[in-house]
Structure 1
Amino acid sequence: MMDYAIGPISGCHINPAVTIAMLANGKTPPKDAVIYIVVQCIGAVIASALLLLILTGNPAYNIAANGLGQSGYGSASLGGYSVVSCFIAELVLTFIFLMVIFSATSKAAPAGFAGIAIGLGLFIIHLFGIMVSGASANPARSLGPALLVGGTALGQLWLYIVAPVIGAIIAALVWKHLFRNGAALG
């Protein structure tokens, strides 16, 4: 939905990992990338604060007990997955997500359908990843809740910044060196 809502404004840059991949591929100028990332992080904190405001409308809600949907590994992972499992999951899920983005927005892709492919791709990686790592694949999405929840979420935030950025850069390099206009090089 956001691709269609704000795509014409910013290319729908709401994920620092995506912005970094686009920077690595020369699709986003460095000045714009810095501005996008700063605004993405501010937006994530504001969104998390709004979510907290909504949740506190329920007298049974407790941020320490219920959190804000923050990502985590070990005992903070919904499935109890290790730091290594979560790191690999975040890296691979972000890589897949970026490959979908590059493919859906390439010149070879049908015009006007990128948002559908990207949204479906994001949905599918979340189906797999939520139980493992929280399926962030977006450093800003992890930053907002971690700052407000604190504690373990803040201590584990590094993984949800580093792994998605590495996955995004690998996707950018794979796309740049193995694909041209959406077709594999022969």
Structure 2
Amino acid sequence: MRASKLQPALLGGVVIGTLSALPVISMGNCVCCLWVILGGVLATYLLQQAQPTPVEGIDGAITGLLAGLVGAVVGSLVSIPIQMVMGSMQGDLLRRILDQGGGDMPAEMRDALQSLARGGVGGALMLLGFVMSLLVNAIFGAIGGLLGTVMFKPALPPTPPPVPGFADSSRPHAPE
């Protein structure tokens, strides 16, 4: 009996999205998409716990991929209020940088930083970040799911030893 991939993918995706959206903790994704792989592994672990037979590689990869997609959506939704709070601080920081070192900067770069400080491209950057997150999370979530199938494969019971005195019916019996 195969278990549903939906609940493990949702839980793995919530872990991915939450850890990826938090300001300092999200830096863990700079290390080979650590939180995305962790979410894929977690989703496969949960899938394995829900079924008695070992999870096949394709099932683990699909569950991890789904967790990555859910994580991209959750991460984008969680990052909106964080950006609303942090955005004003980032704008103030950019204005100070422009005021202190603006004379040495090329005009194009100064214009781009002024646009960022005003918040003119925030929505476009968030949309681009969401699309990139969908792609990257799907790939690394699937990798995490595959790793989970290897890490959490249940131990198979040993094969029983042959029963003494029990003759194999396919071979002729030797005369006694």
TM normalised by structure 1 equals 0.31
The higher radius of gyration belongs to 2
Larger fraction in helix: 2
TM normalised by structure 2 equals 0.33
